[in-house]
Structure 1
């Protein structure tokens, strides 16, 4: 399959939090995208990624999911369109 998902939540109290899933199975959670990871279990590639995307949570999340946007427009805008969510999804 080879599917990777990186979910990020921006929490004003505790900062950014991320979860990684591969092929539908959560393999890592409570990560700190772009904020550094104090744990000592990181590989050399993960340490480099943490350094390169320090302070850039959205860029870190894209990289973790394997996304390579062609330019910054997806993050910095302007948006292509605005959508109103149904009342139950807010």
Structure 2
């Protein structure tokens, strides 16, 4: 196996770690974040949740969260903006690795 190979913009080693068998995954349709302290930001992910009225209104249900440093949150935001806001022709890869 050539560990220098690049798969979807990631080294093969990192790609294998990101897609390892058995890794829990969740498809979120909503998120919210809060400052836990000066040292941490909590981002919670969820879905629309069950209907709460006859009109089809839904209350979000948050089931997964990640807590990270504010610096990591800024890095994540920057990478997501760079990747999704740049024209497709200017993107260097489909993924990013720090």
Greater relative contact order (CA < 8 Å, ≥ 6 in sequence): 2
What is the TM-score when the length of structure 2 is the normalising length? Answer: 0.30
Indicate the structure (1 or 2) with the bigger Cα radius of gyration.
2
What is the TM-score when the length of structure 1 is the normalising length? Answer: 0.32
